[in-house]
């Protein structure tokens, strides 16, 4: 078989596999939104069957034969060309997948589905004792998975590779050491400032049906294509791409708190705009996929915070809120903007302010690292969690659902995902700074409702490249310098220094 034919057959096979993934994504969306309560058991078996099918396709010996046939082909000579990128990534996935026994892949998929369903049930009841056996099984299976795929230094690196290719625990520890130290220092100064924002502005009467209408209009106006997506309520907000023309987001609503739905929706819309900006002609291949979850989070965190909490953004959108919420009568623009940027150490990660957010992630990263270094047992997680919240944020959860059981990630087996949120913040600071240097200050543009220039800049620098480059290299090429936590620290100092008169 000549290399060109081998590549064509390999590409077609992988696109067919992507359709199965797409159907699995749709089933996952349904499980986290509208599935009947009694449907979870059957859904777990569906996911197990799908996992078996996908594992067999990922490890199909023909992939190895096709990869051997294209090796050294002239059309792969440029490593940044789409075919070369696809072959490189297909080879990486094939080699990793072959190391995982089929029975382990199936067991993990079923445990992840069962764990997520159990989390929904037991979190609602604040029942750690009922939930933790599911979590222990997930940890045990994930440890097996890490050993199966292999690693150079430590098991956690094997997990990171699935979410942020090329990232390592040792480098993340350096990032968190600097960021954690600088964040706590800045937090101390912010809390001591006499210029504290008003309390309670976001905690008023906000009818859920009105929130849903406002959120839909807002995310549509910043660039989320609603004709190629939808917004639904859920327990834990997420974005999910079914395929070209179908990229969905969710958020959660509280009748007495506006921030969760508002900033949660902007965050998920940032993810969705990335997916909607990936080259559709490359769908089903690595060139049509996001570079990594850190890059993905850079898009959501940039839109949620750098854009969505800016004064220019609210100069444009605050009239929309005042028209729809009588509870904001008498609240001025500046007052609302300061309330939207209020810094208050809190318990819930997804509702944390921009400054303290990375401390929430540092806690989870350190706990995950301890779990996979076998320095911490699953049964001891609640105590370790509460201790770190006392030490890092000065707060302590009164129950499990606002503590160790608040996130869906561990219940879904997503160990190694949490650090990508902070990597996303690091990358977002670099990207926003570079875009601002090139396009000019955004405040007046946002006030006029002009978000397209920033979105188009991101599409050209980030979205269009798919998996052409590893995450850190992609950010370096987009901004002109390697990403580092120092840029994020400078951004936080500038933003909160201005807000709090530091």
- Catalytic, 268? Answer yes
231-233 and 246-251: which strand pairing? parallel
Closest Cα to residue 13, out of 68, 52, 58, 53? 58
Closest Cα to residue 164, out of 352, 408, 380, 424? 424
Q: In residues, how long is the chain?
A: 502
Per-residue b or e along 450-474, where b marks 16 or more CB atoms closer than 10 Å to that residue's CB: ebeebbebbbebbbebbbbbbbbeb
- Bridge partners (DSSP) of residue 239 are 249
Q: Determine contact, residues 258/206, Cβ cutoff 8 Å.
A: yes
Q: Determine contact, residues 413/108, Cβ cutoff 8 Å.
A: yes
Q: How far is CA 303 from CA 157, 223, 271, 293, 456, in A?
A: 29, 10, 9, 15, 13
Closest Cα to residue 432, out of 450, 466, 458? 458
The whole-angstrom separation of Cα 447 and Cα 467 is 34
Q: Determine contact, residues 324/210, Cβ cutoff 8 Å.
A: yes
The whole-angstrom separation of Cα 370 and Cα 438 is 42
- The torsion angles phi and psi of 175, rounded to 5 degrees, stand at -60, -50
Q: Which of the residues 268, 297, 368, 430 is marked catalytic? A: 268
The whole-angstrom separation of Cα 108 and Cα 60 is 20
239-243 and 231-233: which strand pairing? unpaired
Structure tokens at 32: 């986290």
| Helix (H), strand (E), coil (C) string for 153-210 | CCHHHHHHHHHCCCCCHHHHHHHHHHHHHHHHHHHHHHHHCCCCCCCCCCCCCCCHHH
For 229-341, strand residue ranges (E) read 231-233, 239-243, 246-251
Q: How far is CA 124 from CA 24, 118, 120, 368, 406, in A?
A: 26, 10, 6, 23, 10
Residues taking part in catalysis: 268
């Amino acid at each position: 078989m000549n290399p060109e034919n081998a590549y064509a057959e390999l590409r077609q096979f992988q696109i067919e596999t992507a359709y199965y993934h797409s159907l699995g994504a749709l089933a996952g969306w349904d499980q986290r939104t509208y599935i009947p309560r009694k449907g979870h058991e059957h859904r777990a078996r569906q996911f197990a069957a799908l996992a078996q099918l996908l594992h067999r396709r990922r490890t199909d010996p023909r992939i190895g034969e096709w990869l051997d046939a294209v090796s050294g082909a002239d059309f792969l000579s440029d490593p940044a060309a789409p075919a070369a990128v696809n072959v490189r990534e297909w080879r990486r996935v094939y080699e990793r997948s072959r190391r995982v026994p089929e029975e382990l892949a199936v067991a993990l998929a079923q445990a992840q589905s069962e764990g997520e369903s159990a989390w929904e049930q037991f979190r609602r009841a604040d029942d750690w004792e009922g939930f933790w056996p599911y979590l222990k099984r997930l940890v045990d299976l994930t440890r097996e998975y890490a050993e199966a795929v292999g690693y150079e230094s430590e098991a956690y690196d094997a997990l990171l590779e699935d979410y942020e290719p090329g990232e390592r625990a040792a480098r993340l520890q350096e990032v968190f050491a600097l960021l954690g130290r600088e964040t706590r220092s800045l937090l101390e100064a912010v809390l001591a400032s006499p210029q504290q924002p008003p309390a309670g502005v976001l905690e008023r009467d906000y009818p859920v049906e009105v929130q849903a209408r406002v959120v839909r209009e807002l995310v549509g106006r910043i660039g989320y294509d609603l004709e190629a997506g939808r917004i639904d309520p859920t327990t834990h907000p997420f974005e999910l791409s079914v395929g070209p023309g179908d990229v969905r987001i969710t958020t959660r609503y509280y009748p007495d708190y506006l921030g969760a739905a508002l900033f949660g929706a902007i965050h998920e819309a940032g993810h969705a705009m990335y997916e909607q900006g990936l080259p559709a002609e490359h769908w089903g291949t690595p060139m049509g996929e996001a570079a990594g979850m850190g890059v993905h989070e850079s898009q959501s965190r940039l839109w949620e915070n750098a854009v969505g909490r800016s004064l220019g953004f609210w100069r444009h959108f605050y009239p929309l809120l005042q028209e729809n919420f009588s509870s904001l009568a008498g609240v001025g623009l500046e007052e609302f903007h300061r309330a939207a940027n209020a810094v208050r150490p809190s318990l819930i990660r997804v509702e944390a302010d921009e400054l303290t957010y990375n401390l929430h992630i540092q806690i989870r990263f350190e706990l995950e690292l301890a779990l996979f270094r076998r320095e911490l047992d699953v049964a001891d997680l609640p105590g370790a969690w509460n201790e770190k919240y006392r030490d890092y944020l000065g707060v302590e959860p009164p129950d499990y659902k606002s503590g160790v059981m608040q996130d869906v990630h561990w219940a879904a087996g997503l160990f190694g995902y949490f650090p990508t949120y902070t990597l996303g913040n690091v990358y977002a600071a670099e990207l926003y700074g570079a875009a601002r240097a090139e396009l000019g200050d955004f405040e007046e543009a946002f006030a006029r409702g002009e978000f397209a220039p920033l979105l188009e800049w991101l599409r050209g620098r980030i979205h269009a490249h798919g998996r052409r480059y590893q995450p850190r290299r992609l950010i370096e090429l987009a901004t002109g310098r390697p990403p580092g936590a120092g840029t994020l620290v400078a951004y936080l100092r500038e933003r909160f220094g201005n807000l709090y008169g530091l």
